[in-house]
Amino acid sequence: MIIDGSKAFSNQTLEVDYCIIGSGSGGAFAASLLSEKGYKVAIIEEGPYQKTSDFKDMRESRAYPELYQELASRKTKNKAVNILQGRNVGGGTTVNWTTCFRTPENTLKYWRDNFDLPFTSDSLAHHFEVCEKRFSISPWEIPPNTNNSLLAKGMSALGREYGHISRNVKDCYNLGYCGVGCPTGAKQSQLVTSIPRALALGAILAPRWRAYRLAHQFGKVSRLEAYNLPGLGNQTGEIKLTIKAREFIVAAGAIGTPALLMRSRISDASGLLGKRTFIHPTVISGAIFEDEVQPYLGAPQSIYSDHYLWQDYGFKLEVPPVHPVLLASTLMQKGDRHRELMLKLNNLQVCIALQRDGFFKDSVGGNVELNSHGEPVLDYEWSEAMGEGFKQALLAMAELQFAAGAKEVLPIHASASTCTSIDQLSRMLDGLSMQALAVKVVAAHVMGGACFGTSEKQSVTNLDGRVWRYHNLSVMDGSLFPTSIAANPMLSILGHTHRIYS
C-alpha cells in the first residue's frame, strides 16, 4: 500500500507494529527484514517514490531537484561545504555511486580502544557476507573507465598501492549515471531491493510525508506526527499523518535523525545528540589530459587508493563521476575562465580525497542545529591541522595526476590557477589558505550525531540502536557511528542493520 503525501487531501491515522522514518540504507533494509518476520511496517519518507522508469532521461536537471536533499543545494551553516544526500524512496542508495567497502579493521580498532565498542572484522563478517549476497556486491570485473584508470596509472607510476572497488550491481550497463538514478535497474539500491520486498510482504510506504515530531511520555513513544509535502521542495502542507506503533525506528540519515529527535525533545543524558557529525570532508583536484577522458561515462568508481588513509588526517583517494552540472557548480572559477574549463570537460580527469574525520582530538565533527523553522542545519568547521591535511591531499592528487601524464592540474580552490608541473603546484599550494570558503570542500557521506555505545553517559543509543531510557525508540542509520567510517559508509550501515534486525 502506498500513501503519497503529495496527493493527500485529508488527515489520516495508521496503526502498525513498526513505524520506520526514512527509507535509505538503514530504514528500507530494516523494513524488509522486519516484514520478513511478519511484522506490520510503515515507512515514512519525505522524498518522492520514483522508479527506474522515471530515470530514463539520465538528466542532472531532473535528478538533483527531485532526488536530493534540499534540491542538492544543502550546505553547512557557513556555506563552506556542499552536502549531497539522497531524499527519495531509497535515500542515498538511489543516487549513490555503488562503491562498497566493509568497515575497515583500523576503524573498528579505534572504536574498541576509544568508545568501548566490541565490534571486530570477524564478528561483523557474517553480516557483511549476507549483505554482499543480498545486494549483489562483488568486485567490478569490467575494465575501469579512463577517469578511474588514470588514478591507477598515476599511483602505479609512483609505486604506490591502489585497489579495485566492489559494486552493488547486477547486469550493469556501465553507463556512469548512477548519481541521477540508475535507468536500467542494475544498481541494487534499496529502491529496487528492500522496498519492493517489504511492499510485497504488506508494508505501507508513505512517501512525501515529513516526520515532524515523536510524541512520548515516560520513556515510551506513542505516535509520530508527519505532514505532507505537496510541492517539489521541503515546504510542508497542512495535512497530517499520524502513525501509532509499538516500535519506532528513526532512519532519516545523519542530519535528519538527530533533527527529528531534537524536535521531539528526546532526552539525552550524554549531551551527544546532534554532536560529532562527520562528513569525510572531501577536496578535489582536476587534471587536463591530451587524450579524451570522458569522465561522465562508465562505472563512476572502480579504483581507490588507501595509500595515505592511515597517516594523520589521512584520506582515501577515489574519483567522482563528472557530469556538467556537478562540474559547473564545483569549479571555483568565474566568467571566461569557467567557460574555458567547462569546454575541456571531455579531457578532464578528477580525483577526490576523502579525509577520515573523527579520529583526532581536534577532528570533532559538526553539530546539527535546528533553525527557527525546526529545519536541521549542520555547523561544521575544521581545524588548522585538518586544513593542512587538505593541502597534503591536494598535493598527493596532483602528484599522481602528473605521474599519469596530465598536462595541467588545477586544485579546486578560489585562488588556485592551473599548474604545469608538480613543483609549480607545490609552491602555489604553500601560499593558499585552507580556510572555509577558500578551498572547495564537498561531502556525500554524513555519519554520526546519535552514536551507539555501552553507556548512556557516552552515547545516545545502546549497541542495538535503542535510545537510552526509551522502551520503543531506536535509531538505524549512519547516525550511529562514533567517527567517520574511513570508507564509503553504505555497507557499514547495511551490516549493522542486519546485525540488529535479522
Ligand X SMILES: Cc1cc2nc3c(=O)[nH]c(=O)nc-3n(C[C@H](O)[C@H](O)[C@H](O)COP(=O)(O)OP(=O)(O)OC[C@H]3O[C@@H](n4cnc5c(N)ncnc54)[C@H](O)[C@@H]3O)c2cc1C
The 277-316 site mask, x for binding ligand SF4 (CB under 6 A), equals ----------------------x-----------------
476 is written with which cell numbers?
A: 538505524
**DSSP single-letter state for residue 419:** B
Which of these ranges, 166-174, 239-247, 269-277, 451-459, lies near ligand SF4 under the rule CB under 6 A? 166-174
The DSSP code sequence of 221-275 is: EEEEEEEE--SSSS---S-EEEEEEEEEEE-SHHHHHHHHHHHTT---TTS-TT-
SS3 296: coil
Q: Does 376 bind ligand SF4 (CB under 6 A)?
A: no
Give the binding-site size for ligand SF4 (rule: CB under 6 A). 14
Length of the chain: 502
Q: Which of residues 97-126 bind ligand SF4 (CB under 6 A)?
A: 98
Complex with ligand SF4: residue 1 or 142, whichever CB lies closer: 142
Q: Kindly state the smallest distance separating residue 324's Cβ from ligand SF4, in Å.
A: 17
Q: Kindly state the smallest distance separating residue 171's Cβ from ligand SF4, in Å.
A: 8
Q: E strands of 279-345, at which residues? A: 282-288, 303-304, 315-318
Q: Kindly state the smallest distance separating residue 174's Cβ from ligand SF4, in Å.
A: 5
Q: Does 354 bind ligand SF4 (CB under 6 A)?
A: no
Q: Kindly state the smallest distance separating residue 90's Cβ from ligand SF4, in Å.
A: 13
How far is 455 from 453, CA to CA, in rounded Å?
Answer: 6
Complex with ligand SF4: residue 88 or 484, whichever CB lies closer: 88
Complex with ligand X: residue 197 or 210, whichever CB lies closer: 210
> In sequence order, what are the residues at sequence separation of 6 or more whose Cβ sits closer than 8 angstroms to the Cβ of residue 129?
none
Which of these ranges, 175-183, 349-357, 381-389, 481-489, lies near ligand SF4 under the rule CB under 6 A? 175-183
Which of the choices ligand SF4, ligand X, none does residue 286 contact, using the CB cut-off of 5 to 8 A by kind? Answer: none
> Which position among 175, 201, 332, 422 is part of the footprint of ligand SF4 (CB under 6 A)?
175
Which of the choices ligand X, ligand SF4, none does residue 251 contact, using the CB cut-off of 5 to 8 A by kind? Answer: ligand X
Q: Kindly state the smallest distance separating residue 177's Cβ from ligand SF4, in Å.
A: 4
> In sequence order, what are the residues at sequence separation of 6 or more whose Cβ sits closer than 8 angstroms to the Cβ of residue 391?
429, 432, 434
Which of the choices ligand SF4, ligand X, none does residue 299 contact, using the CB cut-off of 5 to 8 A by kind? Answer: ligand SF4
| Cβ atoms within 10 Å, residue 336 | 8
The residue sitting closest to ligand X, measured at its beta carbon, is 24
How far is 367 from 69, CA to CA, in rounded Å?
Answer: 18
41 is written with which cell numbers?
A: 511496517
Query: Residue 107, CB half-sphere, CA atoms under 13 Å: how many?
Result: 21
Q: Kindly state the smallest distance separating residue 54's Cβ from ligand SF4, in Å.
A: 13
329 is written with which cell numbers?
A: 557548480
* C-alpha radius of gyration, the chain, whole number: 22
Q: Does 176 bind ligand SF4 (CB under 6 A)?
A: yes
Which of the choices ligand SF4, ligand X, none does residue 452 contact, using the CB cut-off of 5 to 8 A by kind? Answer: none
> Which position among 39, 64, 119, 177 is part of the footprint of ligand SF4 (CB under 6 A)?
177
Q: Kindly state the smallest distance separating residue 296's Cβ from ligand SF4, in Å.
A: 11
Q: Kindly state the smallest distance separating residue 299's Cβ from ligand SF4, in Å.
A: 5
Residues forming contacts to ligand X in the complex (CB under 6 A) are 21-27, 44-47, 84-88, 91-93, 95-99, 179, 210-211, 251-254, 256, 260, 301, 444-445, 477-478, 488-491, 493
Contact 444, 193 (CB under 8 A): no
Complex with ligand X: residue 223 or 391, whichever CB lies closer: 223
How far is 36 from 202, CA to CA, in rounded Å?
Answer: 10
How far is 251 from 244, CA to CA, in rounded Å?
Answer: 17
The DSSP code sequence of 25-66 is: HHHHHHHHHHHHTT--EEEEESS----GGGGTT--HHHHHHH
Q: Kindly state the smallest distance separating residue 167's Cβ from ligand X, in Å.
A: 8
Which of these ranges, 183-191, 248-256, 268-276, 388-396, lies near ligand SF4 under the rule CB under 6 A? 183-191
Query: Residue 93, CB half-sphere, CA atoms under 13 Å: how many?
Result: 36
Q: Does 137 bind ligand SF4 (CB under 6 A)?
A: no
Indicate the angle between helix axes 384-403 and 146-157, nearest 10 degrees.
90
Matching residue, cell 549476497: 133
Residues within the interface to ligand SF4 (CB under 6 A): 98, 169, 172-178, 182, 184, 186-187, 299
